Structure 1
């Protein structure tokens, strides 16, 4: 008989882990969300507002139903400074995850990154740190793309209690839905409820059991503050390269420009601007494109789209490979934020008295805000050799919003003094409870967290199967 794996959460980490465990385990997924935006489980911001809405996803596929995840590796320097193991340990899982998420070998994209860097240098851009961000042409709901329907058992409901067994092991979860409670047994349990959901579950468990790393559940929170900070006019035909179609694939490659301040990475994407020196700043990071993705049949969304000419330039390049000549670009900042040891994520009773709400306290210290200001000056100086004119938007810091990359709240650590989970993702003090989502990530630099969450899921699956990862399949690309 196969061991029974119970995974709490059907988002990116839960779906990828379920897929990888199916050959060796009977897999049960517990999912409380009935739809991608489930109002029964709100998140209340007591610090800065998220602005990006929604900034959490629920249901089968989680946030992969919402966002077109860009695939990017966390920089090796970030691993060396913040992770309990080197990037080389995660590299084979990065390669496996990349193929599952993009149908493209990671090695092929890494080669394209180096070629594109060289082409940037040939245009006259100074040498600098530019990381590769790859977008598959079409977004994927992992529940659908991994064909999990009918292959795993789905239990609908919210985890409300834990049943402890012997030797620091979990024996079962209590799941509630519609006033009915169900006991879900397992041999191994994995929390994959996301960077805002998993720490709340660990806090509930700590009420039953004195977990040695409980103080870290909900602490060390990291998200990427992002906004448009200014505009530049360049003197070189950058439009040919800014959204580069990788040969042999249907995906596009972008190279964010990265500067460093006080050990923090700050990235800037150049986005083509149709209305240069316009009276008002571009107002939405996600803009109407996310609404179109969720509801492509609503004609009002298309009417709104034609008010966003920058988005039309983006679509023409991204979907159809049409690069209209422009020398005007906006600068999109995505910054690595400093983390704090204080708890930033917890739960409280909902305002209507029914159920509970997640609470997020997102704050950006003034010193960090000063570093972001300095980073904007740094990137404009870096671009100066190929820039005819530039301006910074006044008050841009007032437009900062969440990138919805919630991480760090149950982070990996060598021991319980520094984090909630050990280097395998096992909760400190527990025999058979693991974490598999963004909460595990000790630091992400400026990288979107999706690819790393998928790689960590495959790494955990290999650990639970008790054998090393398989080598990535050979590429058919030249």
Structure 2
């Protein structure tokens, strides 16, 4: 997204360490809570847009007010610009669909509550392909090893491993976009050469979204009619997560249609293969896997074909905002002997946070009670929590270096020409998928660089 926006004003060189999203040369070791999804640390042209389904959602105004160094209004025009590039439709059109769907929920008797719109284009987009970047940028297929400084507060070059050779890549402006698990490791290497105050935060303040199925409900109203709600004039669908707030944290719940209600032993081990199917719809083995999970079949029928089988049974899928900690959570463990270097991720959910999650489940069940016939919380549901792979905060932006790595323009504190533009700069995302915000930040940074240079 950033390369696309800069091509009109800059010569763009992109360093990409791998051609494949699943690259065994760059493993991630979890030393805390097991994350679940693989990979954590993808590569390849297109970044995360080649891995996931482009679930598009804005970060809530309250999160900006509480955690960001600028108001959401600053990013709003770039949300507007990024949305059609990711979805093929305008944010204004989807916003109308969100308002319409909220009214439909209310007409079924659901109480007032915070319903945040999550839009899924029917088909995901790999931005490298959809923006036609091949041949328009200079591509260096290698892994960044180190930085060269010129002694005047600027980066002069990067040292890049290309096959068996080391190359020097020079430039006027450098932007790290290696993701929430990649950029902090590069900044930690830089800190060995330039011990700047803000770099002590590289790899700290880590935030991800713990996700999991928490229980199931039987409702008294035909909510299935609104599941995967089609937005008129688009090829995509809307979902409205229910959001509750506890101790300054947002916790969202999706009501996901369930094939049956009393399947305790199976429902609590439910697994979704939808991401596999969305990434590779031509692999018949993915369909074999899919038909082991009838609830995923319901999802596919409604998402792809608009078929909504009547059901009053739903599972509750939770996605929670995670409190951050100033402790180091992401770092590089160097190679030892035959053991390769690995990125280490230490993901920890505290007991206090787990109590907040329990209370939030009670909150959402109370919120749904007017339209609920019965409800059940899965026993030991927290043991099934997994990462949403929305790695952020590890090079977060802040007003000054005492609180973060980058300034509000995404420039590394203390350096004149080094920027970060990926999920790592996001100080908090609430319950929102980070893809749309990363794209908006890229367009905002491109506008800043065009003006500055």
- Measured against the shorter chain, the TM-score band is over 0.9
Residues 48-57 or 408-417, more deviating: 48-57
Which residue of 2 is the match for residue 122 of structure 1?
107
1:286 & 1:183 partners in 2: Cα distance? 45
- Equivalent in 185, 191, 201 of residue 216 of structure 1: 201
Does 2:56 correspond to 1:68? no
Deviation at 1:103, TM superposition (A): 1.5
Aligned pairs (5 A) from 1:49-68: 49-68=34-53
Helix, strand or coil at the partner of 2:12: strand
Which residue of 2 is the match for residue 433 of structure 1?
418
1:353 & 1:432 partners in 2: Cα distance? 37
Change (3 A) 1:284 1:92: farther
Does 2:248 correspond to 1:290? no
Which residue of 2 is the match for residue 4 of structure 1?
none
Does 2:404 correspond to 1:413? no
Helix, strand or coil at the partner of 1:206: helix
1:198 & 1:286 partners in 2: Cα distance? 31
Aligned pairs (5 A) from 1:77-476: 77-282=62-267, 287-350=272-335, 353=338, 355-466=340-451
What value does the CA root-mean-square deviation take over the aligned residues?
Answer: 1.5
Deviation at 1:51, TM superposition (A): 1.1
Change (3 A) 1:32 1:354: farther
Helix, strand or coil at the partner of 1:280: helix
Deviation at 1:355, TM superposition (A): 4.6
Query: Given that residues 19 and 146 in structure 1 are in contact (C-alpha distance below 8 angstroms), is that contact kept between their aligned partners in structure 2?
Result: yes
Unmatched segments (≥5 aa) in structure 1 = 1-15, 468-478
1:444 & 1:264 partners in 2: Cα distance? 11
1:348 & 1:406 partners in 2: Cα distance? 18
2:269 & 2:135 partners in 1: Cα distance? 38
Unmatched segments (≥5 aa) in structure 2 = none
Deviation at 1:211, TM superposition (A): 1.4
Change (3 A) 1:159 1:381: same
Helix, strand or coil at the partner of 2:432: coil
Q: C-alpha deviations, 1:151-191, integer Å up to 9, x for none?
A: 11110111111111142101110100322100000010000
2:41 & 2:340 partners in 1: Cα distance? 18
Count the aligned residue pairs: 453
Query: Given that residues 190 and 435 in structure 1 are in contact (C-alpha distance below 8 angstroms), is that contact kept between their aligned partners in structure 2?
Result: yes
TM-score normalised by structure 2 residue count: 0.97
Which residue of 2 is the match for residue 28 of structure 1?
13
Query: Given that residues 57 and 65 in structure 1 are in contact (C-alpha distance below 8 angstroms), is that contact kept between their aligned partners in structure 2?
Result: no
1:285 & 1:106 partners in 2: Cα distance? 33
1:446 & 1:93 partners in 2: Cα distance? 20
Query: Given that residues 227 and 285 in structure 1 are in contact (C-alpha distance below 8 angstroms), is that contact kept between their aligned partners in structure 2?
Result: no
